[in-house]
A and B are shown apart, each in its own frame.
Chain A
Amino acid sequence: MAINERRGYRSGLVDLRAGEISREIFVNEDIYAQEQERVFARAWLHVGHESQIPKPGDYFVSSMGEESVILCRDRANRIHVFLNSCRHRGMKVCRYDEGSTTVFTCPYHGWSYGTDGRLVGVPYFREAYHLRLDKEKWGLVEVAQLCNYKGSIWATWDPAAPPFAEYLGDFTRYLDLQLDGWDGREGQAEVLGGIQKWLVPCNWKFPAENFSGDTYHNISHRSVDLAGIGPSGASRRDMGERDVSRKLHVCIPDRGHQTIHYVLPAGQTPPPAYLNAPIVAEYFRHCEEEKRRLRGEEARLVGAPGEIFPNTALLSRQPRTMAAWHPRGPHQTECWRWFFVDRDAPKEVKEFLRDYYIRYSGPAGMTEQDDMENWNYAHAASRGTIARRHPYNYDQGSGTAVTDYEYQGLRVPGEVIDLTEVQSSEQPMRNFYRRWAEFMEADDWSQLATWRLNERKAAE
């Protein structure tokens, strides 16, 4: 179905003033095709973690939008991200999920590339090419920019995109909660085990909006709460700190990142957790104490589900995971989930967390299964001709966000809604789709880096 050109993305398909978003943005194939160019070819995307490629020659095949990419460490220990496609006829040069190699060889005609991306082997280079092929020109296609942020690897195809730290803006502290040690030391996370990957028959924006901070769907998880899949056999998590904290929605409006977030009262220690497992309980008690010593007031921040635009989900508090929602057509998403632990944690702690993580998250995780079922059926029920005529409602809590939120001396930047009493808002989803619409309409990063325009105006 072609899109009506008169309906733009902002105030048309994404009408935030009315609190309405058209179903077309989830099911329309033309819109999906535009997203690949306008969103996934321009945004910073999460590719993997350096702990997945510890030694020279190690590689991990990942995805950026629809594109298969190779994250690898070359012989000189430099990290690269390459398009996984031979420059000769496009065949994948790597068809394994991960491993270690000296070269990536195309099985079609045999062109071969070093782990630094250079074309090193061309069959019949002397005889058929008469030594005239410029090998320097025909190396693997490399991303325009790569950033190793505390061990997590991010990349973009757009050379004009701002540096990753600027792309994150004030959202940095929430990614830090994911990647720093539980004791507050910088960049202590490592990936635990393999990456869980599975397909869900829904548009990629369903999980992205869910992890942006949908607290309204908690009723879906009533069964796991009742079953008590949490570490201590009660509810879903051992997180008594939630009961004493302020619960917030935090949105970074000009970046499109958003999260649920908890702030402990000043001087409050998180209640003990994991009491069924003394080694684990002692580990986290010690870490919390160290964090307060190292971070001071910042140790009052407690992470929760969030989303870095466009398709990376964070969950820094237990279960500590990150996810990528890879688009596989308008009606299918490939979900990838990474599980994290502190690399210096005792083996008993890692094993304990592994059991809990897989019980909670991933395709066999009881909580994630609830989510998949919602996304699956919501998408399917939105594809029909009649269904597409009726927009979704995103009006919850409109106009109630503040930009000067402070709780007992701790200021929280961004647009904030305190959920402690109101329970839920749709500010994070509005924030996500506002940014999505900007990406879909903007010609380039000179229009997308709206904060730079504002800074320039302020300077004038």
Chain B
Amino acid sequence: MSGPINIRDLAPGTSVVLASGAEAEIVDNPRDGVWLFARYLAAPRDPTLVGQEEMIFAQDVVALGKARTSSQAP
């Protein structure tokens, strides 16, 4: 099992998988280690979220997504 992801290092364009099973693409990272601004790419439990932007809490991020469009920031 992989450890927690340090979201401070994630660049805009990266996608992340959330605890709910949803996947979202980062649009901005305030780099406070707590929040990401992201747009939903998929949301199996609530498809109405797809396309919406929302703040994502660090503890909801469980993995990097398959739709990752850019590499992690150095």
Contact = CB atoms under 8 A, between A and B. Distances in A.
Contacts of A69: none
Contacts of A70: none
A124 B30 CA distance: 19
Given A112-B55, A123-B59, A107 B34 contact: yes
Interface residues of A, number: 11
A105 B55 CA distance: 12
Interface residues of B, number: 10
A202 interface: no
Contact of B28 (A102, A105, A107): A102
A101 B33 CA distance: 13
Contacts of A105: 30, 32, 34-35
A191 B28 CA distance: 31
A391 interface: no
Contacts of A103: 30, 32, 35
A121 B33 CA distance: 13
Contacts of A107: 34
A110 B57 contact: yes
Given A121-B55, A123-B57, A123-B59, A110 B35 contact: yes
A112 to B, nearest CB: 5
B55 A120 contact: yes
Contacts of B35: 103, 105, 110, 112, 121
A184 to B, nearest CB: 43
Contacts of A112: 32, 34-35, 55
Given A105-B30, A110-B58, A123-B57, 18 more contacts: A101-B32, A102-B28, A102-B30, A102-B37, A103-B30, A103-B32, A103-B35, A105-B32, A105-B34, A105-B35, A107-B34, A110-B57, A112-B32, A112-B55, A120-B55, A121-B34, A121-B35, A123-B59
Interface of B: 28, 30, 32, 34-35, 37, 55, 57-59
Interface of A: 101-103, 105, 107, 110, 112, 120-121, 123-124
11 contacts: A102-B28, A105-B34, A105-B35, A107-B34, A112-B32, A112-B34, A112-B35, A121-B55, A123-B57, A123-B59, A124-B57
